[in-house]
Structure 1
Amino acid sequence: MNHTILALDTATEACSVALLHQGNITFEDELSPRTHTQRILPMVDGLLKNAHLSIKELDYLVFGRGPGSFTGVRVGVGVAQGLAFGLS
């Protein structure tokens, strides 16, 4: 079975998102110290648009839990939680 999975990682200075869809992995990452809150959602939006998907088509939403900075992990958790709550 093919699942569509969106992964977020904001625990380190690199901000990254990855998408697994139909067995293909696409990703975007950039070094963006202290700007993850400004970068993560546009990165998610861009990745989904390039794959011609909506957030509602995701089967799973996952995030990196570290190691890394506590604040960075909280950003990833908060974004994942906000996206998930928005879908329910």
Structure 2
Amino acid sequence: MTDLTAPLILAIDTAQEDCAAALMRGTELLAQTVEPVGSRHSERILPMIRDLLAGAHVEKSDLDLVAFGAGPGSFTGLRVACGVA
């Protein structure tokens, strides 16, 4: 059962060859998307987030937290996730 008082979290990871975004309510995974993108993280992460939120019927303004994977991984990939967050 979903705890609606728990924070709504967007989590993103661009540190590896896969690009990932997930939507969580507290510790419960609500939706996720993962794509093998090679080095195209900066091209794919924003459209992935847009589609993830739209599919879950969530607006950016509904989010309580944005989290990003801080590695290990490529420095450029980490910068992409940090910048998007």
TM-score range, shorter chain: 0.7 to 0.9
Instruction: Indicate the larger mover: 17-26 or 68-77.
Output: 17-26
Q: How many equivalent residue pairs?
A: 80
Letter of the aligned partner of 1:18 in structure 2?
A
Percentage identity across paired residues of the two chains: 46
Going by fraction, where is helix more abundant, 1 or 2? 1
Within a 5 Å distance, the mapping from 1:20-39 to structure 2 comes to 20-21=24-25, 23-39=28-44
TM-score of the pair, normalised by structure 1: 0.85
In 2, distance between residues paired with 1:77 and 1:6? 13
- Relative to the length of structure 2, the TM-score reads 0.88
Q: Which residue of 2 aligns with 1:17?
A: 21
Using the alignment, how far apart are the partners of 2:55 and 2:25 within structure 1? 11
Q: Which residue number corresponds to residue 51 of structure 1?
A: 56
CA distance in 1, matches of 2:46, 2:29: 21
Stretches (4+) displaced over 3 A? 21-24
Unpaired runs of at least 5, structure 1: 81-88
Q: Which runs of 5 or more residues in structure 2 are unaligned? A: none
Between the aligned partners of 2:58 and 2:30, the Cα distance in structure 1 is 14
Please give the root-mean-square deviation of Cα atoms over the aligned residues, in Å: 1.3
> In 2, Cα distance between the equivalents of 1:49 and 1:25?
13
| Contact 2:70 2:78 survives alignment (8 Å) | yes
Deviation at 1:21? 3.5
